[in-house]
Amino acid sequence: MIIGLDVGGTHTDVVLLDIKGLVKKVKIITQHDNLFKTVLSCLEQITENVPTNSISRIVLSTTLTTNSIIQGKITESGLIVLGGPGIDPKLYKLCEHYYVVSGVIDHRGREVEAVNIDEIKQVGRKLKASGIKYLGIAGKFSARNSLHEEQVAEILKKDFTKIFLGHCTSGNLNFYRRISTTFLNAAVYPVHKEFFYAVKKSLKKKGLNIPINILKADGGTMNFESSIDYPGQTIFSGPSASTMGAIAFSKENEDTVVLDIGGTTTDISVLINRVPVFKPVGIKIHKYKTLIRSLLSLSIGQGGDSVVKVENRTLFIGPDRLGFSMAYGGDVPTPTDALCVLGDIVDGDKKKALQGIEPLAEKMDLNVCEMAQLIVKTLCKRILREVDDFVDKINSKPVYTVREVCEGYKIKPVKILVLGGHGLYLTKYLNSFAKNKVESVPKCDVANAIGAAIARTTCDVSVCADTEQGIAAAPEENFKKRVDRSYSADDAVDDAFMLLKKKAVFHGADQKDIKTEIVESNLFNMVREFHTVGHNIRVKVQIKPGLIHGYEVIAKSLSDN
């Protein structure tokens, strides 16, 4: 059996699945001031009276690191930056304890200027005197040669609790994004570590000593132990859960919009031929642009519990959520109350819902049912307008999927798949206004948790080679070897696939789920005095994002039930 858990803005959902379908589900209110308690409570409830030896896989999707960044509750951390030719890295200053030091590696991975050991020790003393325990070290071309980052870390390793190196964050080149990514890994490490040990402790009490996986922003998973060294990978894992929850029910050769309608927000994403549209560079969160791989999604402040008000005979919905709907004990009217008045939601307090909608109806000179219909209609049309704008924005640029760049491709949605706590109730209304067919996925209310449960482990590897220097390297994977001038792009691909499979297993992949592909393969001649003196080669390979082996059986059973 498999456990999937997804932390949402309003509720946290956890499911227990087997090949026969959904065995059990639990939904509790998300306590944003105590997400540890929320997650642990869900795990306690879902495993109650379940034989521990019957559970083979656990996948968590958490908003913990995302919330800590957005709310400005990250740990004070230090950054040491090694520059190079081009923009002065002092212009990239991200935090108070930010130091630019000597030491330069050029774009081909050659050392131009050595690290100044005395300078590094002096900076280390300043950071330590300021009480800094967590440190990031980022070099401009560390993805070509990680020597300087490793030298600085070796000098300072005894003085800091945890050090994160820029070359370990990504094999892609982008100095500012590398700095940001390195910093965020250091800054969210303490809260993620606390969460990690709390979950491990809770599961140990239940006798569950199986590997735990955590969902990443790219829709794939990594094992929990690996996430300690890459905590930034858990940012934005929530929206990816909804996308993965819809893939199993999308069709080939179709463009599909995915709507996850929750209590606080609606998340929008797009599938092309069952493959998610992807951010071409990396996540942007708060003021930080990163190299963290992510599915492309849009979150809007339109949900079932968004506050509804009327001012000057104009109806406003959201973007704020001021607690629960009045039908469930809240103090302000929401679309949930409107759905309760219309009879779509039957387990809420209809009397309280009416009390919330009646004053709004009076302001609009409508009866209560007409007002409830207007609220639902307005919400649906607003969501659909955001969908159209989102698709137009994607189409205005080259479209990236997790597999390829679809140059010139224009997304033309055929269907909208809806999931989330409020998705089931709103599907029929969305169908009335949408240009495309709208369907809710099976087990709509917990589809996010199901998506997390059946997501495949993903990772990528980049290999660079300079045959003039006689070096092939993947600093992110701690790989370097001597090569001669006969070394080709095909040889680099072979090395990359070897590293990728090793990395995938380390991050928790099942051998049956290791499906690899080439994302990028480039070879450039290096010419000097009209003669080719070598080749500059760069290849990138990845595990195809998708669902675990055997998911078709699970998906079919969910549809049948």
Say whether the peptide bond before residue 319 is cis (omega within 30 degrees of 0). Answer: yes
**The pLDDT of residue 400:** 64
Give a yes or no: residue 536 inside a domain.
yes
| Number of Cβ within a 10 Å radius of residue 280 | 11
Q: What are phi and psi of 411, to 5 degrees?
A: -70, 130
Average pLDDT in the 371-396 region? 94
Judge whether 556 lies within some domain: no
For 521, the enclosing helix (H) or strand (E) is strand 516-528
DSSP letter at 234? G
E strand intervals along 95-237: 98-101, 104-105, 111-113, 134-139, 162-165, 212-215, 221-223
pTM of the model: 0.83
23 in a structural domain: yes
CA dist., res. 291 & res. 172, Å (int): 8
Same domain, 180 and 207: no
Q: ∠ CA(469), CA(470), CA(476), 5° rounding? A: 95
Specify which residues 17 forms β-bridges with: 2, 22
pLDDT band at 6 (very low <50, low <70, confident <90, very high): confident
183 and 289 co-located in one domain = no
For 394-429, write each residue's pLDDT tens digit.
888 776 655 455 656 788 999 999 998 888 899 999
| Bridge partners for 517 per DSSP | 542
Last residue of one domain, picked from the residues 217, 240, 263 = 240
In a domain, 486, yes or no: yes
- Alpha-carbon distance of 330 to 324, in angstroms, equals 4
The encoded tokens of residue 60 equal 């968590």
Six-digit token string for 5: 């858990």
Q: Is the pLDDT of residue 379 over 70?
A: yes
Decide: helix, strand or coil at residue 86.
coil
| Residue 323 burial by Cβ neighbours in a 10 Å radius (0-12, 13-18, 19+) | middle
Domain-embedded: residue 550: no
H-only helix segments in 311-434:
335-341, 350-363, 368-395, 423-433
CA pair distance 448, 12, nearest whole angstrom: 10
Domain count, the chain: 4
322/466 same-domain check: no
CATH of residue 206: 3.30.420.40
If asked whether residues 7 and 29 sit together in one domain, one would say: yes
pLDDT higher at 552 or 3:
3
Q: What SS3 state is found at 466?
A: strand
Q: CA-CA distance, 118 to 112, in Å (whole number)?
A: 18
Verify that 276 and 360 share a domain, yes or no.
yes
Task: Kindly state whether residue 37 falls inside one of the protein's structural domains.
Answer: yes
- Host domain of residue 499: 460-543
What is the distance of C-alpha 198 from the center of its chain? 21
- Phi first, then psi: what are they for 175, rounded to 5°? -60, -50
Encode pLDDT of 196-224 as tens digits.
Answer: 888 888 788 778 888 889 999 888 999 88
Question: Is the domain of 164 the same as that of 269?
Answer: no
**232 in the same domain as 212:** yes
Q: What are the angstrom distances between the C-alpha of 111 and each of 103, 140, 153, 170?
A: 8, 12, 17, 20
Confidence at 545, pLDDT banded by 50, 70, 90: confident
Residue 560 lies in a domain: no
Tens of pLDDT, residue by residue over 44-82, are 899 888 888 888 889 988 877 887 887 788 999 999 999
φ and ψ of 465, to 5 deg: -135, 140
User: Using H for helix, E for strand and C for coil, what is the string for 83-130?
Assistant: CCCCCCHHHHCCCCCEEEECCEECCCCCEEECCCHHHHHHHHHHHHHC
Q: What is the pLDDT of residues 459-473, one digit of tens each?
A: 889 999 999 999 999
Please answer whether residues 532 and 512 qualify as being in contact, where contact means their C-beta atoms are separated by less than 8 angstroms.
Answer: no
> Do 179 and 290 lie in a common domain?
no
Q: Do 259 and 382 reside in the same domain of the chain?
A: yes
CATH number at residue 95: 3.40.50
Of 518, 512, 516, residue with least CA distance to 537: 518
* Among 395, 411, 440, residue at a domain's last position: 440
Same structural domain for residues 254 and 180?
no
Q: How many Å apart are CA 285 and CA 300, to the nearest integer?
A: 15
In a domain, 136, yes or no: yes
Q: Show the beta-strand stretches assigned E in 411-456.
A: 413-419, 437-440
- Is residue 342 a contact partner of residue 388, using CB atoms and an 8 Å limit? no
> Residue 114: is its pLDDT beyond 90?
yes
Considering the domain architecture, whether residues 382 and 526 belong to the same structural domain is answered as: no
Q: Say whether both 88 and 229 belong to one domain.
A: no
